[in-house]
Chains A and B, each alone.
Chain A
């Protein structure tokens, strides 16, 4: 008994100080959060480090995570489409298509739930799904981890990021989550419009950008916010250009996809989907949860004339009885011009978000 106790204490001593023994010293990563954004809350069990972000970036572009080593996360979330997929539905490694459009990966560190139906509560949880989804990357986590473990570079990177030998799906998801949290978009014309509107200080570059805001873009913003105009701002406002809720925005009178309702089991949630950000919307076509609209013109036309009434239609679509907000061609064009101010080229082209060489 006594020897067992001694052995236990010695083992405990070694394990309790493993970090000290090997010199694991991760470098804290300071997020570059725009001045008009709220703080980002980082999970206590996944602090941001340079090593974690670098690993996450490499994993985001890692094709070995798929069953046949042909697809990475980036296959359906490419930089040039605001980290979404330009196709209506993404095609997995077996040639199968999903039934929902790939979501743009923007400002994910502020999201309260993930996927169009909100079935994942955290970013780390969300990342675990596509790898094992049979119509996406169609791999098992043990296989994926085994392939990564075969690489000395990965073994080193995981150790540097987490201070432990061994690789598992939790560490993979944590690393990718760290990388995704760095993908912040807050440098568009809209951002300087927002700052100027609220008397926040504008930097020299902000002022230069603000000088390029056209009267049509301003008029489009007014319509965007107007209750009697496009009335978009109830669901799309603030620094994130979205509110965090599920909404039935009148796409269908009956639903082929219940969306949130299939997650909660509550019929009152049928036909509801996550309200997405409008940031970088010019890049992230096609639109809606099922990618049914190829262009912004089609989207604006839907809210103008195409609203379908159903039992769970969002009450905020107040002009549903007349089909929508009835924007004429001139007004629709102004709203579109404003929507294009949400493009953030520095986000799309940020070298830190591209595939590492």
Chain B
């Protein structure tokens, strides 16, 4: 009995010793990571539509003029996303083909953002900076901006819409009419301002703000329309100013809170 008790004590000491060894033996290798408590996750999402129906890339839609159109790319930048002096995030890139409906994701408290202001595009103060020097986490870094950057001097493409259209109503669906809207340059940046934000609680402390982007409204704005038969290309180049501005204004009108 005494022998058994001694064995119990010895075993207990051995186990405790081993545990202590395990806990201390690799001290040099330890990496102590402190994960800050960031609070809620805020997500901004954009659902492209064509009128009342959700829009899918490469699907066919009919414009007010009766043209058929397949959108192949929808991308845009927002930057300096904030409410007054409270910044949500410095920049976000919407890329419908690669990233779906997600515009941006950041940490923050939805109560701090009952209003929201942002640039549709990139402010001139950073639009011509070295695109390699933005941090890897920034959508302005050249590795992330990818084809949304022209070059240092023109800067970033703010809004990119590419499509293929059939503008001849002959019953044959031949989408040989290329539509390319690449809009940038400092003068064309727009500002966005939304109030009475309705953050949806998704659970797990995630809150989402949903936007809609109606490409039918983009083509047929309240004050000006874009006729794809004649207005199908803008690279914000000299001589394209009118269409360039129309693209930005109609795009801004089409981007609404849901």
CA of A235 to CA of B180 in the docked complex: distance in angstroms? 14
A9 touches B15 (CB 8 A): yes
Supposing A9-B18, A110-B143, A243-B147 touch, asked if A20 and B178 sit within 8 A by C-beta, the answer is no
A38 touches B164 (CB 8 A): no
Residues of A within 8 A of B163 (CB): 315
Binds B, one of A11-19, A60-68, A151-159, A206-214: A11-19
B237 touches A198 (CB 8 A): no
CA of A6 to CA of B132 in the docked complex: distance in angstroms? 54
Q: Which of B18-72 contact A (CB under 8 A)?
A: 18-19, 21-22, 25-26, 28-29, 57-58, 72
> How many residues of A are counted as interface, with CB atoms below 8 angstroms from the partner's CB atoms?
42
Partner of A315, one of B14, B21, B142, B178: B178
Residues of B within 8 A of A316 (CB): 162, 178, 180
B58 touches A268 (CB 8 A): yes
Residues of B within 8 A of A38 (CB): 131-132, 136, 141-143
Q: Which of A303-357 contact B (CB under 8 A)?
A: 309, 311, 313, 315-318, 320-321
B18 touches A36 (CB 8 A): no
Could you mark each residue 88-124 of chain A with 1 if its beta carbon is under 8 Å from any beta carbon of chain B, else 0? 0000000000000000000000100000000000000
A198 touches B132 (CB 8 A): no
A6 touches B142 (CB 8 A): no
Residues of B within 8 A of A268 (CB): 57-58, 72
Supposing A38-B142, A311-B175, A315-B180 touch, asked if A13 and B233 sit within 8 A by C-beta, the answer is no
CA of A238 to CA of B21 in the docked complex: distance in angstroms? 54
Q: Which of B145-178 contact A (CB under 8 A)?
A: 146-147, 149-153, 162-164, 175-176, 178
Partner of B18, one of A10, A110, A321: A10
B130 touches A198 (CB 8 A): yes
B179 touches A315 (CB 8 A): yes
What's the minimum C-beta distance from A309 to chain B, rounded to whole angstroms? Answer: 6
B18 touches A6 (CB 8 A): yes
**In this complex, which of B22, B25, B147 has the most chain A Cβ atoms within 10 angstroms of its Cβ?**
B147
B180 touches A9 (CB 8 A): no
A237: CB under 8 A from chain B? yes
CA of A310 to CA of B22 in the docked complex: distance in angstroms? 65
Could you mark each residue 1-44 of chain A with 1 if its beta carbon is under 8 Å from any beta carbon of chain B, else 0? 01001100110110011011000000000000000111101000
**Closest partner residue, chain A, to B19 (CB atom):** A9
Partner of A317, one of B151, B152, B178, B235: B178
What's the minimum C-beta distance from A6 to chain B, rounded to whole angstroms? Answer: 6
B11: CB under 8 A from chain A? yes
CA of A244 to CA of B164 in the docked complex: distance in angstroms? 21
A197: CB under 8 A from chain B? yes
A263: CB under 8 A from chain B? no
A318 touches B147 (CB 8 A): no
**Closest partner residue, chain B, to A37 (CB atom):** B132
A315 touches B164 (CB 8 A): yes
A238 touches B57 (CB 8 A): no
What's the minimum C-beta distance from B8 to chain A, rounded to whole angstroms? Answer: 9
CA of A237 to CA of B155 in the docked complex: distance in angstroms? 13
CA of A245 to CA of B142 in the docked complex: distance in angstroms? 14
Residues of B within 8 A of A39 (CB): 132, 136, 143
A219: CB under 8 A from chain B? no
Residues of B within 8 A of A36 (CB): 130, 132
Could you mark each residue 238-260 of chain A with 1 if its beta carbon is under 8 Å from any beta carbon of chain B, else 0? 11000111000000000000000
Residues of B within 8 A of A147 (CB): none
Residues of B within 8 A of A320 (CB): 176, 178
What's the minimum C-beta distance from B155 to chain A, rounded to whole angstroms? Answer: 11
Q: Which of B200-250 contact A (CB under 8 A)?
A: 233, 235, 237
**Closest partner residue, chain A, to B164 (CB atom):** A315
A20 touches B28 (CB 8 A): yes
- Ranked 6 nearest A-B pairs via Cβ: A268-B58, A243-B147, A9-B18, A315-B178, A38-B132, A198-B152
